[in-house]
Structure 1
Amino acid sequence: MTNFIPTQPAALPFILADFEAITPAYIRENAAAGMAALRAEWDAIASNPEPPTIENTLIALGASGMEFETKLGAGYTMMSSIGGEEWDAVQAELMPQISALYDSLWMNDALYARLDALEVPEDPETARLLSEYLKDFRLRGIALGEDERAKLTELNAAISSGETEFEQRTVKARDDAALHITDPAKLAGLDQETLDSLAQSAADRGLEGWLITLISPTQQPLLTRLTDPETRAALLAASESRGDDDETRALVLKLARLRAEKARLLGFETHADLVVADATAPSAEAVAERLDTLAPPTVRNVTKEATALAELKARDSAAPFAPSDWFFYEEKLRTEVANVDFDAVRPYLELDAVLNDGVFYAATQLFGLQFTERPELTGWAPEVRVWEVRDEDGEPLALFVGDYYARPGKNGGAWMHNLVEQSHEDGTLPVIANNLNVTKPAPGKPTLLTWDETTTAFHEFGHALHGMLSNARFRGLAGTNVPRDFVEYPSQVNEMWLEDRDVVTHFARHHVTGEPLPDELLDSLLAVRSFGQGFATAEYLSAAIVDQAWHRLAPDAVPTDPAEVLPFEQRVLEECGLTVVPPRYRTTYFAHAFGGGYDANYYSYIWSEVLDADTQKWFRENGELNAVAGHRFRETVLSRGNTRDPLDSFRELVGHEPDLEPLLKRRNLL
């Protein structure tokens, strides 16, 4: 089982790559042979002289590719978490080849004919695998003629290359846009530990002074604390200007046009229609209707918030209220109205405590999981950590890998990815990674998180639980292999434990004194959960609407002049009234939409949040943090993955169809 990739023997029974051996040369040397071997597996199934059966066709196809996918998972990890010129070159070289490889599967007539000839199996999970394969073949071009297939293969390769280039441009633009400060007065408002961390970031790049590195979204965490308005303005300007060059804008237009052409070739009106054909949302029109319904009350709320913040700034300055002032004065207003100072909370949010006594603690209370750090197991960077996860009966369940710190070359944002999928058919246990981009502290200093970073840690671990608690026979149906507009649902649910008093009191202790978070501060934190929802909803919704707008264009409607990219975005935002705050991502650094994965799919967060809000209501009605409710959630949702219609899993849990009202209440949109 472990001889096809360099592994760490101490990790058995898990498959954990020996990342020192996973070099660009190793991936290059093994890629061609791996792809050839996988094609041979598919061809052997397709050319089998025996009549097609569930075993010799469907199950054989479902079991194919494990060796290749495991190597690819290790290589992807290095490309996304280490990066740099050499790994970027490997990624740019391989992604079009991998696109062509899978085109050869989806356009294999003999293989499709064998699948299509099968009787629907009695076993529901096996029947689900068959229906998913048949759908994938149809959505990926099996019905096209020879010339159309050649065109589709050409389009897919160009799209893959373009997405890779955009993703790499986004990482480089983020790293290059870091704000270098040499005057300490410009950093007024920051505590000494933050200053030490910024000084270390500067020193790491051979610079004097301090360096504020950027996170992926438009708004930057330090905007809440910097008292100098010029520094705030410079930081937001650096963030918003990322990728605003002719090459990146031209790439946006190229990708929008290529995707639109592909959709038309496959018989869909737009790329958004093609994407939603493999989603839980019923149609692109339903997505647009949902977003359009949410926009007016969001505009109302964010406008009201802007007025209150402008009035607050007017006490300090005659200068007009600017977007770069938003986070700073929102924090002041929160402190004034609700007596909550998030800066005062940071000393209680030390990374190890958040993980061991918060994130893992909640999982133990809900599911009985046991976590043991394995320092002898190594990751892809020195600061990467590995935990063995055992089930409540003591049996090995998964490996969990945590990569929490930012580094040059690493992709922005936060994400979960599978190094090894759970599968009873393959006999594999899951190996799951979480990735954040927390600024690394100066040597010897603690890693103190913001409240938002703590929320992100809980969110990404919700994805990890979805992968670790999978109980699927087939790899392709396991864990997070669900429609994109469902995958965010379990991760959003896991955020609710950051609002649970038992969980917060368990991990929120002062990193120096060990004193618990004061009751009055905890009470205030829990009382202001809906504070600032106008801004939060507006910045998200504007990005989701812009994503849909780009991907609802016909090929000939895509602008041709790169200078039209940001004006197009502005017109879209003006039409829906969402111009009060900048979108969470502007088009030129919107990696979700143009780096691949969430194109025409960024709506998924709000779509999944309907299920999340309804499920949080269910947890509150069933005792909140307890093993009975946790096991029910595990059995009906987390363990099932895509082994059945995911919405059936939700319905079985809560006992009814998705209800929009809990979400509207949460976001103050009623």
Structure 2
Amino acid sequence: MSHPLLQDWAGPHGLPPFADIQPADFQAAFDAALSRHRAEIDAIASQPEAPSFANTLAAFDASGRLLTRLEHLFYTLTASATSPELQAQQRALAAPLAAHGSAVYMHAGLFARVDALFEARERLGLTAEQRRLLERVHLDFLRAGARLAPEAKARYAAVMARLAELTTRFAQNVLAAESGYQLRLLTEAELAGLPGFVRAAARQAAADRGLAEGVHVITLSRSLIVPFLSFSARRDLREQAWRAWVGRGDGSAGGADADNRELCREILALRVEQARLHGHASYADFALEDTMARSQPAVMQLLERVWQPALAAQARERDAVLGAMAAAGATHALEPWDWRFYAEQARRARFELDEAEVKPYFALDRMVEAMFDCASRLFGLQFKARPDIAGYHADVRAYEVLNADGSLRGLFLQDNFARPTKRSGAWMNALRNQSRALGATPVILNNNNFARGAVGEPTLLSFDDVRTLFHEFGHGLHGLLSDVEYERLAGTQVLRDFVELPSQLFEHWMAEPAVLKTFARHWQTDEPLPDALLAKLQAARQFGQGYETLRYTASAIVDMAAHALPEAPADVVAFERDTLAAWGLPPEVGMNHRLTHFQHLFSSAGYAAGYYVYLWAEVLDCDAFNAFVEAGDVFDPVVAARLRDCILAAGNSVEPGAAFRAFRGRDPVVEPMLKDRGLLV
């Protein structure tokens, strides 16, 4: 019988045979894929012909196809549909896969050829995209240690292998902490204050976990715990839930298996060593070398630019929250688990806006229609539901994506619901990247973690959930609309502080009145969102932005501070506390992510010394959206075509600053972002 992972994948659009795959299959498949890739690399490096773009760069970009497709599949499953058996495979494979990456990028013969082409790049007559590929691949080799001395190379490879093991354990610990927590609500008194949509989601969460009828469960899924903290009248239960949410990984819940403090410290220590092997004093210096920001001062200047206005805005919001507490007769001090509850009451009083009144207009299926319609109006795309295409889980929905002329653009998969086998957060990933050279159409996946509605009822989203839906689809469009020759330059494989531009830019359309009036319809009556309610939503849009901006910026500051250290802190929890105290973060605010569960930083190096990128990209996206506003039509076809050509289709084939200038006609300015957040006085 053929191995299901090694045979040609004959599923629709080349999808793998999900139903036939067992966790134990991956070891043999990866063994074969690694062996094949090593042989391909050796063949490129040892060929007698002088290095050329075709026989070295293009050949390298086309190599490792089996390994690439296995990795895309494996990491999709470990993030979205894991199991104890799959997690064991993930731990076992972490170091060998990292070691293989080091062996490829430290391959002396291959690097010699790439380096020779790089030195001769001015004389090779390359196209702009070929030159970009050469420059990016050469930098990949350098940043992976290709120029290090032999002893340093060996140590560097050992560091990277150990980091792979540690980041895998970190992510699995966070998942264990999140999936293992249940706040069970058994009586009407414990449900006090919760509106119907929260009760329905909590009832469904209990049913998903096999609990008795009538039990309600609050999990640590953001789409469930944030509404609970906003509406629950039981202060004692709010405190329990809040402590569980912010305490993930810090040892406060007990159990050494889920304690990430030492993992954080060792990861930080190894990253310092990694940076020093490259000649940098800190990991932040090393990481920022290949970004738009380039340096710590540039990042800190942006963070400082928003910090003081956000503090002032949060102080004004605090007055409103204290007023709501006084109106309710509360005499206790304002604590972090009180903020969202009384802020919701203050918002309700000030704007006559009740989220329980708003949420019935935001059914998930309607909002998916809205995002598809926006993509169609902007880029001419068509989305054809394919319920016959099975994914790795019953929750996955498949859509063929067609160009305006009906030709195939790619396949879009969407996995929207939280479950115990899925990591928290929301993300986009590719099961296959676009590449003209490889004849590859993209297969793009969006993951969200919405709290599922009760059986027979739709899943209702908050306004923040809708923003997340559009955000991830913005990443999805970046992958789907990619139109480059070489896979290394495709889609979202851009600099980290540019990758959030398409996603955050697409968020702007979810709040457009024309979109809301068309698609925000009451799930029971089909009544469109009333003008009066829309006006209230717009009036209240910036309320709470001080609080939210501080929470985000505090996380970005702690990230940068931790990675700017010349050595790892002895106690990451104390370091986090002291850093926030030095910046004057009000104690009732807190952070979006504490270090001990900060998956952006410690589940991989993807956003390490890089959490600032959301704010950096927000400067870009607010300025970019203004191009549509200035055109007088948020669906202006000329501006949309320029956005597609200059940003979305280009992938990493163009330097990001040049790509933005090609779209906007100039460098970005910060004022639109400050105005959008209500921080421009």
Give the TM-score category using the shorter length: over 0.9
Say whether 1:343 aligns with 2:356.
Answer: yes
2:367 maps to 354
Equivalent in the alignment of 2:195: 191
Partner of residue 389, structure 1: 401
- Residue 321 of structure 1 is matched in structure 2 by 334
2-side partners of 1:178 and 1:78: how far apart? 24
Q: 433-442 or 369-378, which moves further after superposition?
A: 433-442
C-alpha separation between the residues in 1 aligned to 2:389 and 2:448?
20
Question: 1:545-588: CA deviations, max 9, x gaps?
Answer: 11111111112xx233xxx2222111100111123411001111
Shift of 1:21: 2.4
Unaligned runs of 5+ in 1: none
Distance 2:223 2:288 in 1: 25
Matched, 1:650 2:657: no
* Alignment equivalent of 2:236, drawn from 218, 230, 235: 230
1:575 counterpart residue number: 582
Which whole-Å CA distance do the structure 1 matches of 2:99 and 2:246 have between them?
A: 35
* 2:626 aligned partner: 617
Give the secondary-structure state (helix, strand or coil) at the position aligned to 1:220: helix
The reply to whether residue 71 of structure 1 matches residue 70 of structure 2 is yes
Counterpart of 2:586, as a letter, is T
Equivalent position to 1:550, from 543, 555, 562: 562
d(CA) in 2 for partners of 1:158, 1:8: 33
Deviating more after overlay: 197-206 vs 209-218: 209-218
Identity over the aligned pairs, expressed in percent? 39
Q: CA RMSD in A?
A: 1.8
Does the C-alpha gap of structure 1 residues 455 and 5 become closer, same or farther in structure 2, counting only changes over 3 Å? farther
Q: Paired residue for 1:137, among 137, 141, 145? A: 141
Matching residue of 1:444: 456
- The one of 201, 216, 225 aligned to 1:210: 216
Mapped pair 1:566 → 2:565: no
Question: 1:207, 1:436 → 2: CA distance?
Answer: 24
Normalised to the residue count of structure 1, the TM-score between the two structures is 0.96
The farther-off stretch of 640-649 and 438-447 is 438-447
Structure 1 residues 193 and 535, CA, compared in 2 at 3 Å: closer, same or farther?
closer
Give the drift of 1:284.
2.1
- In the TM superposition, residue 384 of structure 1 has moved relative to its aligned partner by 0.8
Cα distance in 2 between the residues matched to 1:569 and 1:215:
23
Q: Say which is worse superposed, 440-449 or 84-93, in terms of deviation.
A: 440-449
18-27 or 654-663: which moved more? 18-27
Where in structure 2 are the equivalents of 1:590-609 lying within 5 Å?
A: 590-596=598-604, 597-609=606-618
How many residue pairs get aligned? The number is: 661
2: CA distance between counterparts of 1:4 and 1:184? 51
Q: Is residue 197–residue 356 contact of structure 2 (8 Å, CA) maintained in 1? A: no
- Paired letter, 2:245: S
Contact 1:368/1:627, CA 8 A, preserved across alignment? no
Q: Which residue does the alignment assign to 1:585?
A: 593
Contact kept in structure 2, 1:479 and 1:641, CA below 8 Å: yes
Instruction: Provide the C-alpha distance between the structure 1 equivalents of 2:387 and 2:28, rounded to a whole number of angstroms.
Output: 30
Instruction: Indicate the residue corresponding to 1:507 in structure 2.
Output: 519
The verdict on how the C-alpha distance between 1:143 and 1:204 changes in structure 2, with shifts beyond 3 A counting, is same
CA contact (8 A) 1:179 1:238 kept: no
Asked if the contact 2:183–2:218 (Cα under 8 Å) also holds between the matched residues in 1, the reply is: yes
Moved more, 197-206 or 270-279: 197-206
Find the counterpart in structure 2 of residue 20 from structure 1.
19
The AA in structure 1 aligned to 2:301 is: E
Q: Distance in 2 between matches of 1:216 and 1:110?
A: 49
How far 1:322 moved relative to its partner? 1.7
| One-letter amino acid of the structure 2 residue matched with residue 113 of structure 1 | A
Query: Which SS does the other structure have where 1:402 is aligned?
Result: strand
Are 2:501 and 1:489 aligned?
A: yes
Q: Which moved more, 1:250-259 or 1:277-286?
A: 277-286
| Residue 477 of structure 2: aligned partner | 465
The secondary structure found in structure 1 opposite 2:260 is helix
Secondary structure of 1:619's aligned partner: helix
Q: CA deviation at 1:628?
A: 2.7
1:178 corresponds to which residue? 182
Deviation string, structure 1 residues 319-363 (Cα, Å, up to 9, x no partner): 22221121122222222222222221111111111101x110100
Asked whether the equivalents of residues 177 and 239 of structure 1 are also in contact (C-alpha less than 8 Å), the reply is no
CA distance in 2, matches of 1:543, 1:195: 31
Partner Cα distance (1:650, 1:667) in 2 = 22
Against the structure 1 CA distance between its residues 104 and 87, is the aligned structure 2 distance closer, same or farther, given a 3 Å change threshold? Answer: same
After TM superposition, the score normalised by the length of structure 2 is: 0.94
1:559 & 1:54 partners in 2: Cα distance? 45
Q: Distance in 2 between matches of 1:78 and 1:109?
A: 34
Residues of 2 paired with 1:215 and 1:367: CA distance?
33
* Residue 297 of structure 1, CA deviation: 2.0
Decide whether aligned partners of structure 1 residues 217 and 486 sit closer, same or farther in structure 2, where only a CA change above 3 A counts: farther
* Aligned-partner residue type, residue 84 of structure 2: E
SS in 2 for 1:20: helix
Q: Which moved more, 1:128-137 or 1:66-75?
A: 66-75
User: Does structure 1 retain, via aligned residues, the 8 Å contact 2:218–2:225?
Assistant: no
The residue that corresponds to 1:405 in the other structure is: 417
For residues 216 and 519 of structure 1, the distance between their equivalents in structure 2, rounded to whole angstroms, comes to: 29
Conserved 8 A contact 2:219-2:225: no
Instruction: Note if 1:300 corresponds to 2:312.
Output: yes
> SS at the partner of 1:200?
helix
In structure 1, the residue matched to 2:674 is 664
Q: Is the contact made by 2:198 and 2:227 (CA closer than 8 Å) also made in structure 1?
A: no
After TM superposition, the runs of 4+ consecutive aligned structure 1 residues lying more than 4 A away are 2-10, 216-219
For the 8 Å contact 1:19–1:380, the answer to whether it is kept is yes
CA contact (8 A) 2:317 2:543 kept: no
Q: Give secondary structure in 1 for the equivalent of 2:388.
A: coil
State the shift of 1:366 in Å.
0.5
Contact residue 501 and residue 621 of structure 2 kept, 8 A? yes
* Conserved? CA contact 2:250–2:261, under 8 Å: yes
User: Which amino acid letter does the alignment assign opposite residue 321 of structure 1?
Assistant: L
Q: SS state of the match for residue 24, structure 1?
A: coil
3-state DSSP class of the match of 1:141?
Answer: coil
The range that moved more, 596-605 or 625-634, is 625-634
Flag the 1:202–1:459 CA change in 2: closer, same or farther, 3 A: same
Give 2:529's match in structure 1, choosing from 511, 517, 520. 517
Helix, strand or coil for the counterpart of 1:513? coil
My pick for the range that moved more, 145-154 or 65-74, is 65-74
Equivalents in 2 of 1:609, 1:343: separation in Å? 29
**2:156 corresponding residue in structure 1:** 152
Specify which structure has the bigger relative contact order, considering alpha-carbon pairs within 8 angstroms and separated by 6 or more residues: 1
Write the letter of the residue equivalent to 1:573.
L
Shift of 1:217: 9.8
Report if the CA contact (8 A) 1:6-1:21 is conserved.
Answer: no
Contact 2:5 2:29 in 1 (8 A): no
Work out whether residues 493 and 615 of structure 1, in 8 Å CA contact, stay in contact via their aligned partners in 2.
Answer: yes
Corresponding residue of 1:272 = 284
Distance 2:449 2:616 in 1: 25
